[in-house]
Structure 1
Amino acid sequence: MASGIDTAFLRSSDLFENQPDEVLKAVLLQGRLEEYGPGQVVFEQGDQGDRLYIVKSGALEVLASFSDGADPVPVAYLGPGEVLGELALLTGSPRSASVRAPEHAELFTVEKSVFLDFMKTLPAFARNLCLVLAKRLEATTLKVPRGAKQLQGNLRFFDLATVIQTLIGSHQTGSLVVVQEGGKNRIAELFFFKGNIAKAKVRHLTGDDAVFQLFQSPLEGEFSFTGRQVQEEEVQADITMPAISLLMESVRLQDELPLLQERIPDADRQLRQKASQLDWQDAETVELAAAVWSRLKKGASMNDLHRDVPRCSYALYRTVVTLLDSGQIE
């Protein structure tokens, strides 16, 4: 029995919005509050569904295995007010995914019999459940709820790429921020507008390169996403690609980067100009090549280039490897 708990978190859930206080209090009396620590599993893919869960605080990671024997991969994150476990109760089918708590989380749970009783006695509950299912189908992923600081956690436990994919798939508008040193050092900020990444800054990088670098050099720290209402004319974008194209390109560069890094395994190795002048034929990347060439005049390492030339790791390594292969540097 979850008595003595504020009903506000239930009201933030799509299932119980617009319900009077007396109904919410009655719901609390028929459920219970459960706490989960970092890494603790709520349920496993394939388990039989015996209860409904509503996130009261913290966040949950949803993992799924898409073939027999395959390792489960993160597919979504859920924050306060989110509902999970309802499909297994409705259909009687096994759980379609595993859920765990990357950090501390509080979940309000109701048994299957109570859930079915709600369906019979609370018409608004049944209607809202249909709305929740419709939104799931529309977004093809579990959405992040609206409200301030909807999703937050430590990147030791969360996969940032999956967080980004979740925000894109759920058509969010707001800011995703990564901080270190208890919030004193903001190292990354991505602004989303209707599911597209409109603006990005990661340390000294901006735009497309900032997003690429997130995939090429994983960050450490605390992250939080805050949704807000923004008019389209207020958006000052520096991203040149639609969200899906940006993610596909990010993954491609991430996959190819290790092959380039094998050519220069020592990031502290000093590189310098060998030719008398730069010979570069690609007009699209000549500006980057010139910046790298200039920095190598007195000698520089890959670590130096990362610090001084504002481009992602892939772009820098590809440029340097091309210069090495053409004999222009040594």
Structure 2
Amino acid sequence: MIIEALKSFLIGIVEGITEWLPISSTGHMILVDEFVKLQVSDQFLALFLVVIQIGAIMAVLILYFHKLNPFSPRKTAVEKKSTWRLWGMVVIGCIPAAILGFAFDDWVNEHFYNKVTVAAMLILYGVIFIVLEHRNRRRLQEAEAAIAAPRGRHARIADGDLADEAEAQLFKITEVDDIDWKTALKIGCFQVLAMIPGTSRSGATIIGGMLCGCSRTAAAEFTFFLAIPVMLGWGLVKAVKFIAAGIAMTSTEIVVLVVGIVTAFVMSVISIKFLMGYIKKNDFTVFGWYRIVVGVLVIGYFVFETMGMLP
């Protein structure tokens, strides 16, 4: 039991770090499972890889409790109304995943939960991040030049808000509260792509948000909030299916689940704080390169394994 708890602890660390970074938590956990095999039933493993995300969701609820709480006595009537509106946008954004996720969950598990798919999606979305951020940098430079030109050659030095003005032109939505229902629905459609392991739910929705005109901060925060009903709902569906199948957890499996959830919570708090601090001064290019490198290493590893060149 202790060995399995330690394995769950490791998986919880991976979940907590990768759930919120755009590098695919499920993809990483599938890959970790190739090397750290939990001695549990296949049915429990499928449940564990989803339900462990409850720990990650609890981190969001605690870190953003005030922002997400429409009943806070510290909020004015206007602020409470804004909070209810934000929850409305979250619900709208979850509609595509709720419909397609429920319909195709088992089919996706059967056909796409494998190392080849994970590696391919890691590389594909890594390239998309790099291309998207390259485009954003070029557009920001063009916007800065257009703003500075009428002010003279020293405008960049004299006006410290030049970069902020350019970013405001590039990203029409700089605050998560400004997301409207059309944008929320579009981002929700991108979230559906995360059904394929290796895609990254946060990666897909952040890309979708930026393509819809959201700043990196607004896109990331909306990604966190979208995860609450989607991941809780997905976990509930998995749990119901597990119980309906008449399968009982062993004592070891219960310990594994608890350790994984708690560890995922702690690491998620750290991961979210890091990401929000990082993107205030940086873009997502480094995550794109990380995905490509990991994807290539995964392909190389399993090619060598297939050829019998690894022990």
Which band: TM-score by shorter chain? under 0.3
Q: Give 1 or 2 for the bigger CA radius of gyration.
A: 1
TM-score of the aligned structures, taking structure 2 as reference length = 0.22
Tell me which protein shows more strand as a share of its residues. Answer: 1
Tell me which protein shows more helix as a share of its residues. Answer: 2
TM-score of the aligned structures, taking structure 1 as reference length = 0.21
Bigger relative contact order (CA 8 A; separation at least 6): 2
